[in-house]
């Protein structure tokens, strides 16, 4: 069990997935309750052209991902304002355009090989810079979620009444989406463009099966995500499977186990909108 720990590349990978897991798991609980899972998926895919351009230029991926996510968010806001185009459709249009653009760039004959690591991640190739970014993300998420906890709780509970309680739902949305964007931009290096969404949705969805309070749910999700990261890396080390995909699979496996436990306990809360006399 300890043998992989002697490998420096494995130590860095473990540190990366634990940091990303802690941040992604805790933030993911809010993503799930605010209905931002689709937004997470979309934001992740829409930064693909930025990643490809950064890879071609030999620059840190962060420098390509950050402007791409801002561009995608602005484009979604703009397209959604065209009469007759709903928000869902606007997201779909922008994401496919951005992802297609990235694929065109990636598949051009002049592009360097190894672009697939952008899609599936290169968790064993994380740099010191990546680790610092992951640590900064974990700190940013922890501090912001702690400061905004009460406000996020109110706006997520009942948007209609939030304002009368001194909370702007639009502010809560914006704060979460900015954190989510930052999380995706940082996590994409390790987990890849196609799999990064797993860490923001899976552990939270699993924790939701067992917890009926927000704070314990966030702690549980953070722990599960870190655990899944470690388990995935060990799987990858011993079975020779791809790192990012192994982590994503471990997350899904944990989710399925918790789903089963939740079903067996038969104690799930009523869904929103159900009325009881």
- Per CB under 8 A, residues contacting another protein are 33, 146-147, 149-151, 153-154, 156-158, 160-161, 163-167, 208, 211-214, 217, 268-277
CB of 58 to another protein, least distance (A): 42
Cβ–Cβ under 8 Å, residues 38 and 63: no
Assign 110 to helix, strand or coil: coil
Nearer to another protein, 31 or 235 (CB): 31
Nearer to another protein, 9 or 157 (CB): 157
Nearer to another protein, 88 or 158 (CB): 158
Nearer to another protein, 146 or 265 (CB): 146
Task: In whole angstroms, give the CA distance from residue 225 to residue 249.
Answer: 12
Nearest to 207 by CA among 251, 146, 144: 251
Task: In whole angstroms, give the CA distance from residue 37 to residue 180.
Answer: 10
CB of 258 to another protein, least distance (A): 15
Task: In whole angstroms, give the CA distance from residue 34 to residue 174.
Answer: 11
CB of 39 to another protein, least distance (A): 18
For residue 154, give the H/E element and its range.
helix 128-157
Nearer to another protein, 74 or 165 (CB): 165
CB of 73 to another protein, least distance (A): 24
Cβ atoms within 10 Å of 43's Cβ, excluding its own? 28
CB of 218 to another protein, least distance (A): 9
Structure token pair of residue 241: 């499977």
């Amino acid at each position: 069990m300890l043998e992989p720990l002697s490998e420096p590349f494995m130590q860095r990978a473990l540190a990366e997935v634990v940091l990303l897991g802690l941040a992604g798991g805790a933030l993911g609980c809010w993503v799930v309750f605010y209905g931002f899972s689709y937004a997470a998926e979309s934001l992740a895919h829409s930064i693909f052209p930025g990643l490809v351009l950064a890879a071609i230029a030999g620059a840190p991926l962060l420098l390509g991902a950050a402007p791409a996510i801002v561009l995608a968010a602005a484009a979604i806001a703009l397209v959604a304002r065209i009469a007759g185009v709903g928000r869902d459709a606007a997201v779909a249009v922008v994401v496919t355009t951005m992802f297609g653009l990235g694929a065109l760039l990636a598949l051009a004959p002049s592009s360097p090989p190894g672009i697939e690591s952008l899609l599936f991640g290169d968790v064993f190739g994380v740099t010191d810079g990546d680790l610092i970014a992951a640590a900064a993300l974990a700190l940013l998420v922890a501090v912001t979620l702690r400061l905004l906890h009460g406000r996020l709780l109110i706006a997520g509970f009942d948007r209609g009444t939030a304002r009368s309680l001194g909370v702007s739902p639009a502010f809560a949305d914006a704060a979460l989406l900015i954190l989510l964007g930052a999380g995706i931009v940082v996590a994409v290096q390790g987990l890849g463009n196609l799999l990064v969404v797993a860490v923001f949705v899976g552990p939270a969805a699993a924790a939701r099966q067992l917890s009926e309070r927000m704070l314990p749910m966030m702690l549980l999700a953070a722990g599960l995500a870190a655990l899944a990261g470690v388990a995935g890396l060990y799987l990858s080390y011993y079975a020779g499977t791809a790192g990012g995909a192994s982590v994503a699979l471990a997350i899904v496996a944990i989710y399925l186990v918790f789903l089963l436990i939740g079903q067996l306990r038969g104690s799930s809360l009523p869904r929103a909108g159900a009325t009881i006399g």
